[in-house]
A and B are shown apart, each in its own frame.
Chain A
């Protein structure tokens, strides 16, 4: 149980385009989902926290207009990187938490490369 999927697993796009990444909890309802990014050989940095049906809470320094998060249902959250630039190239990971446990269950990540 507690499986989280992400789609796509990798994506290459041109600078200036927008990219949508989906995060799904497959066998549980996620009250809260989290979005992280990880640069090579660095830690996972929390970008934002989202609760179903409400606006996401962004961490300091994360542009909410650039990284649009939608948490439309208890099993789906999406991250849209708008007007992507090469510096947005990174590994994006989502996680989901049920209302019962403190543990977050992580997706496999999405590698974004912006040319």
Chain B
């Protein structure tokens, strides 16, 4: 049972354009969401997070949107740069307790120069 899903395994975007990565979840108990960037054979690097009390969080070129009613979040990267090419994972947490994360399946982003 995949509680966090990223339905697009890959995405190609032209440099300078917007990249939109999507993530859906099924567990209504999730109240904290994160995006991580990962290169092969490396650990994930934290990008941005959002609490369920918000619907948007912005940090530089990265913006995360949360639609609780649709159980959907998205990561916008604008403008996209070749260095953004990596695998992006969304993760969800149920907040209290152990704060364990459930990761999505990942989307490989390729930014074309």
Contact = CB atoms under 8 A, between A and B. Distances in A.
Q: Count chain B CB atoms within 10 A of each CB in A34, A44, A102, A111 and give the residue with the most.
A: A44
Given A4-B43, A109-B42, A103 B49 contact: yes
B41 interface: yes
Contacts, number: 54
Contact of A106 (B43, B49, B93, B95): B43
Contact of B44 (A42, A93, A102): A93
Contact of B34 (A43, A49, A103, A109): A103
Interface residues of B, number: 22
Nearest to A103: B46
B105 to A, nearest CB: 5
Given A32-B98, A102-B32, A107 B105 contact: no
Given A57-B98, A93-B43, 19 more contacts: A6-B43, A32-B99, A34-B101, A36-B103, A43-B89, A44-B103, A45-B103, A46-B102, A46-B103, A49-B100, A93-B44, A102-B32, A102-B49, A102-B93, A102-B99, A103-B46, A104-B46, A109-B42, A109-B43
Interface of A: 4, 6, 32, 34, 36, 42-46, 49, 57, 91, 93, 95, 97, 102-109, 111
